[in-house]
Amino acid sequence: MSSSPWSDLPVDIGHLILDRLTEVVEHVRFGATCNHWYVISKQYQHRQRRALPMLLVPSPEAPAKPDLPKLCALSWLGKYHQNFNHPLPFTRFRYCGSSNGWLATQNEDFTLTLLYPFAGQLLTIHLPVLGGPWLARKHDFLTKKLIVSPTSTPDNFTVVAIYGDARKLATIKSGEMSWFRFKKIPDIFYSDIMFYENKIYAVGQNFQMVRLIVHLRPPRFKIIHPGVESVKSNKTFFVESSSSELFLLQKHLRFLPVNQDIREQAMNQGHRDGEEEDYIYARRWTAKEFCVYKLKLDNTGAVVEIIETKSLNGDAFFVGDNESMSFSATCFPECKTNYIYFTDNYIYDDYIEPFGREDVMCYNVEDGSMKSIYSVIPRHRRNMSQPIWIMPQYYHQDKLNEN
């Protein structure tokens, strides 16, 4: 039997088809058709980077406590894709990382599970305990952030995490049975981590930056910028721009009063759901502004200059509990130039915010204006996962296609 002519689709025709598919899940499905179409889709992503990330949110039809919890991905066209039917994460349904298409969740026994939902089958990576009972006061927030190396597969991966109330650093590679913690590293409450030009960087809230050397055991570090006492922010992010420049973002928050009626309603809702009593503050944190800096590195990787700027050079940045991402906004009519799209980082770990994690907004770097891009459904505020950006990758599927 002769093969279908579609299996020999010319590359240029395939790219024209992908030009008309604006949804990232459509690109994934295109690449899952056959090996040849997968190669076409992978080449297209590397050259065009056409699809934008999706926002992982609860299904609009999901009740407050579904028997079979489901998530869906909200696209830029306002569509909900119902193909993310894996279990929600453990306590309070929080994901502790979204990196290169992998979602990280901490389990009840302090182990970690990484999920990749874009390969036709649900791929998983199981990681050992990070921390222990001495760090269990808020165990669902033990792992603050987790990133996965860009070329990770279930059999070959590198993972780096920020963990504990002191925001320390740890790493693990495939084949290892336990985490390696970075010893003698300054305790400065690390805020973000990222892979950049085949290296791993971490930044603290006081602007101290370190390069992590994770291929050695025990792992090592090198300080590339000392801390600055006068710098204060509620959250700091690394972002690599679409032109491979390194940016640093400071997110500043403000404390706003909460309407007393809404506060009492939120507390009463928790009691009706049979939860333990949570204290809900009379005020809540919300985003105020971002400060943006461009970093200049020398040949050794040390930071030699920090330049404050009001421009992202035409990019759009996506930050939050995910590993930060950037896209050239000029390629995407749905996306705004020089905007930061951000999700709620849930600054306090010991209470439930009455509005849920609903700081999902975009920030105009040029004029400082903000507007909401997603509204939390009221019945989901207390018991559903926080919105988080997610973007599939193609690297890890190469090995799967060979099998």
pLDDT value at residue 392:
77
Cβ burial, residue 229 (10 Å; 0-12/13-18/19+): exposed
Angle between helices 24-31 and 35-48 (to 10 degrees): 140
CA–CA dist 309, 65 (Å, integer)? 44
Q: CA 200, CA 99: separation in Å to the nearest integer?
A: 13
Angstrom distance (rounded) from CA 39 to CA 210 = 36
Average pLDDT over residues 17-42: 78
Q: Is the pLDDT of residue 377 over 60?
A: yes
Cis before 218? omega within 30: yes
- What's this model's pTM, rounded to 2 decimal places? 0.82
Domain 51-390, architecture per CATH: 6 Propeller (2.120)
Domain ranges of the chain: 1-50, 51-390
Task: Specify the residue for token string 């579609």.
Answer: 6
Q: Could you read off the pLDDT of 299-345 as tens digits, one per residue?
A: 888 899 999 999 999 999 999 889 999 988 887 777 889 999 998 76
Per-residue pLDDT tens over the stretch 191-234? 999 999 888 999 987 888 999 998 888 889 999 988 777 666 67
**Spatial separation of the C-alpha atoms in residues 346 and 98, rounded to whole Å:** 16
